A and B are shown apart, each in its own frame.
Chain A
Amino acid sequence: MKKNDIILLCSVLLIAAIAFFMGTVLLDGSGDTVVVAVNGAEYARLPLDENTELLIQAENGTNKLIIKDGEAYITEASCPDKICVKTGKVTEMRSVVCLPNKVTVTLEKGD
């Protein structure tokens, strides 16, 4: 009886621990995410803490996205006005938008 109690207790604790772990790790997904959308549809999701390059193949042209040292910005665009390049780095308050190519780059804060 006493032994069974302990087994029961241990297994309940184990399940609780697993559930807690799953809850915190899976739901949190901490870290900021760079979200690229073309004409409103999600095109790519990239972690801000991983240096990378992405050539966005949009409807009317291309935009080159760079993620470097925790900053994301567009370095090249096929459009004539280059406003997206001039906008600079993406922040939570400011998305980078390329109107001719219908591209938006936004920053999603991790929890």
Chain B
Amino acid sequence: MKKSFYGILALIISLSLCLPLASCGKRLKKYTSTYFEHFDTYATLTLFASSSEEYKTLDSIFKSELEKYHQLLDIYNQYENVVNLYTVNASAGTEAVAVSDELFDFISQAVHTHKITNGYTSISIGAVTSVWKQALNTHTLPDEDILAEAAKHIDISHIILDSTNKTVTLTDSKMSLDAGALGKGYAADKIGNALRDAGCESFLLDLGGNLKAHGYKPDGSPWLGGIRDPNELEGSLDLSINISDRALSTSGSYHRGFELDGTVYHHIISPYTLRPENIFSSVSVICRDSYVSDALSTALFSMSLEDGQMLIASIENAEAVWIFADGKIVTTDGITPTT
């Protein structure tokens, strides 16, 4: 009787001793990597892994995939043994360029995106965006004549895709492709797939504000994405959204711009007015794929609210938050703003 009492007591004590150790052994640790060498922005991966070896393996996948898509969608540089957007642009007006399946897939998707966004998110707008890029760098407004001339060379129908031979032809020698509104989202999806295939069960990717999350955190809580009113007005919105297995992209006028005579000139150029619009200070889109959220947030930024609402309603499970320049906030029904 006494013996069994001590036996049980010893068992309880040894179990209680093991408990913290056991949870410690299984404990998933949070790791973060940030790189600044890709897509002209930052790239951060936050993940949970059981060992630093596991983290290192996943981090090397992150870095190599990041490098791969950065090179593939780069319009400024050429790389050895890589046929990328630079290669396609350099051949504009001359001949068909044989591209990898992946680049062909990207350009095909981008042409489709041009159609569904009514041209508001367009891969063929390169001639105009390059004029504005110069303007943003020098903080001077572009010459109207140069802008008008550039606008003659943004016709999407001058991209000829041959799906049998996997070639791309730009039939206008002065046109150029620009993946600025699509590339980061596209890469986030692809990198996310690679990490998932490598067995990573819980991570958050942030490619310059394009968030993509997979799985839930070890404690069961979701990954959260934030939307904040960039105007920072009194009582302004500060929204946190469950983005586990979803993507969140925000397009805003507060990035990469300059102010002249009270007008903000930023990097999102409307293909219709040929200049940056200032109806909104930011527009965020939440949906399944980062490519779609990236493309739609750009499109919605330059569209009227009504046109944007119609577009977002046509996309399955997509939500949006429009923050007007004056601080007014409109959301889709699936989002409850908390102030």
A residues in contact (CB < 8 Å) with B: 5, 9, 12-13, 15-16, 19-20, 22-24, 27, 35, 37, 39-40, 81, 83, 86, 88, 91-95, 97, 99, 102, 104, 106, 108
Q: Is the CB of B226 within 8 A of A40?
A: no
Interface-located stretch among B6-14, B98-106, B319-327: B6-14
- For residue A81, which residues in chain B have a CB less than 8 angstroms away from its CB? 256
Least CB distance from B102 to A in Å reads: 26
Q: Is the CB of A99 within 8 A of B41?
A: yes
Considering only residues 1-45 of chain B, those with a C-beta below 8 Å from chain A are: 6, 9-10, 13, 16-17, 19-21, 24, 27, 30, 32-36, 41-42, 44
Interface pairs (12), CB distance under 8 Å: A5-B6, A9-B6, A12-B13, A16-B16, A19-B17, A37-B32, A39-B34, A86-B230, A93-B240, A94-B228, A99-B41, A104-B44
Q: Is the CB of A15 within 8 A of B17?
A: yes
Q: Is the CB of A9 within 8 A of B9?
A: yes
Least CB distance from A54 to B in Å reads: 18
Considering only residues 182-228 of chain B, those with a C-beta below 8 Å from chain A are: 206, 224-226, 228
Q: Is the CB of B228 within 8 A of A106?
A: no
Pick the contact of B42 from A13, A23, A93, A97 — CB < 8 Å? A97
Known contacts A13-B13, A16-B13, A93-B240; A106 and B32 CB within 8 A of each other: yes
Q: Is the CB of B224 within 8 A of A92?
A: yes
Pick the contact of B20 from A24, A35, A39 — CB < 8 Å? A24
Q: Is the CB of A20 within 8 A of B16?
A: yes
- For residue A9, which residues in chain B have a CB less than 8 angstroms away from its CB? 6, 9
Q: Is the CB of A83 within 8 A of B224?
A: no
Known contacts A40-B35, A99-B42; A20 and B225 CB within 8 A of each other: no
Pick the contact of A95 from B9, B36, B44, B230 — CB < 8 Å? B44
Q: Is the CB of B35 within 8 A of A20?
A: no
In the complex, the chain B residue whose C-beta lies closest to that of A92 is B224
- For residue A12, which residues in chain B have a CB less than 8 angstroms away from its CB? 10, 13
- For residue B30, which residues in chain A have a CB less than 8 angstroms away from its CB? 108
- For residue A104, which residues in chain B have a CB less than 8 angstroms away from its CB? 34, 42, 44
Q: How far is the CA of A23 from the CA of B10 in the complex (A)?
A: 19
Q: Does B80 contact A (CB under 8 A)?
A: no
Q: Does B254 contact A (CB under 8 A)?
A: yes
- For residue B24, which residues in chain A have a CB less than 8 angstroms away from its CB? 23, 27
Q: How far is the CA of A22 from the CA of B21 in the complex (A)?
A: 10
Q: How far is the CA of A81 from the CA of B17 in the complex (A)?
A: 54
- For residue A93, which residues in chain B have a CB less than 8 angstroms away from its CB? 224-226, 240
Residue among A9, A19, A86, A93 having the largest count of chain B Cβ atoms under 10 Å:
A93
Pick the contact of A83 from B36, B226, B254 — CB < 8 Å? B254
Known contacts A83-B254, A95-B44, A104-B44; A40 and B33 CB within 8 A of each other: yes
Q: How far is the CA of A46 from the CA of B286 in the complex (A)?
A: 32
In the complex, the chain B residue whose C-beta lies closest to that of A102 is B36
Least CB distance from A60 to B in Å reads: 10
